[in-house]
Homo-oligomer: A and B are copies of this chain.
């Protein structure tokens, strides 16, 4: 399908839909929308529109569909796979004005929110009512909940509370044809036809633009405890992970961090944190609940497991400030690593007991290709973010040979029962690796589904496959 460029006449029609104040069309004005948080990628859309309501999104989609203008939906631009980049130019639809929490329904423990609400603002709003919306990616302070839906976002609490997939009940969606549907019902159970809510979650804005989201909420745990355990090796730390669950405990967070990652956070943030000599790997472990005795008992069981796995030392955070400091180390790790080196980030995910093999394999591959790596992530879910660091690699090798190394990492991931991305999505940067896991039959089905929703292929083209 050949797309059309947005000429003056088409721009005038688009402007007419949303109003002049809601249009950006000069490169200077558009610059902020030309990249996300993915390394090195810059693509300018021709025009950015900021519709204010569903009717305007529908009118824009209808118009672009009729005129074969590619449309890229845009949340907060915090994505890590280039999913919100206008790689074919065209119109970017920024959802930033969809920033209202429409309802927090305390009787049903449900909320209705617009997709441009910042995740943390939503979390805080429901927390004020004693409720929990637990899907908190590291970017929660800036990402939009609509982007979380698009990428099937997770974050550290997935290990106990599940991904966003388990919280979204129903969505209002504008289809590429401009038609508007609700995907399901505002119910906790649903067995009424193919589940379009679940199909849309994680579809990276390629099947429709979400304009309203109905989420489930749960009672908020009132107490938590936080531990930071240090180990002599990555392998010891990773091996402890599956043993914690086997001991009957489901922590509310279980995060892995390599020493190097913490060192860079200390350097980047000027943090006064005592990194013990020889400690190579760390587990951040949180237990939450409503009863202090239970939390203590969970911590004791966890501690026993840690000791049985050659743990060096366990720090129990005593104060809110200390908890906050430890969480800050984990949450700022991506930014710190990024600021220290040219890098590429992969979002490997495997069954959790395979983590030791995965991390050892990554180091071994790195040693053969000459790259370093800093690994951290949601080890309780088997989800390891691999930051590949240029280190001593030559520019030529970085540009030409690294891809083979990444291919080996994903081959290993797949051989361990895992897949290409756990929570960042495929976007534009990972799609070349998808055939390592998926067959032509998968691609045919995905493309077939795409064509059902988007016969002209205008919506977020070039993503996933």
Contact = CB atoms under 8 A, between A and B. Distances in A.
Given A109-B245, A349-B189, A446 B291 contact: no
Given A194-B202, A194-B203, A187 B290 contact: no
A107 interface: yes
A28 interface: no
Interface in A419-449: 419-426, 430, 434, 437-439, 441-442, 445-446, 448-449
**A108, A188, A382, A449: residue with the most chain B Cβ atoms closer than 10 Å:** A188
B185 A349 contact: yes
A194 B441 contact: no
B218 A250 contact: yes
Contacts of A152: 189-191, 195
A184 to B, nearest CB: 7
Contact of A202 (B108, B191, B222, B434): B191
A201 B109 CA distance: 25
Nearest to A208: B445
A155 to B, nearest CB: 10
Contacts of A158: 188-189
A78 to B, nearest CB: 14
B189 A442 contact: no
Contacts of A418: 185-187
B196 A198 contact: no
A248 B434 contact: no
Interface string A80-102: 00000000000000000000000
**A189, A190, A453: residue with the most chain B Cβ atoms closer than 10 Å:** A189
Interface stretch (A40-48, A159-167, A332-340): A159-167
A105 B163 CA distance: 22
A172 interface: no
Contacts of A222: 248
A25 to B, nearest CB: 32
A15 B82 CA distance: 52
A181 interface: yes
Interface in A450-465: 451-453, 464-465
A151 B191 contact: yes
A384 to B, nearest CB: 11
Contacts of A297: 290-291
A395 to B, nearest CB: 30
A119 interface: no
A192 interface: yes
Interface stretch (A61-69, A305-313, A319-327, A350-358): A350-358
Nearest to A220: B248
23 contacts: A106-B246, A108-B382, A130-B248, A162-B166, A181-B441, A185-B414, A187-B422, A189-B381, A189-B383, A189-B423, A190-B202, A191-B422, A194-B445, A194-B464, A195-B199, A219-B248, A248-B290, A289-B294, A290-B297, A291-B291, A448-B451, A448-B452, A448-B453
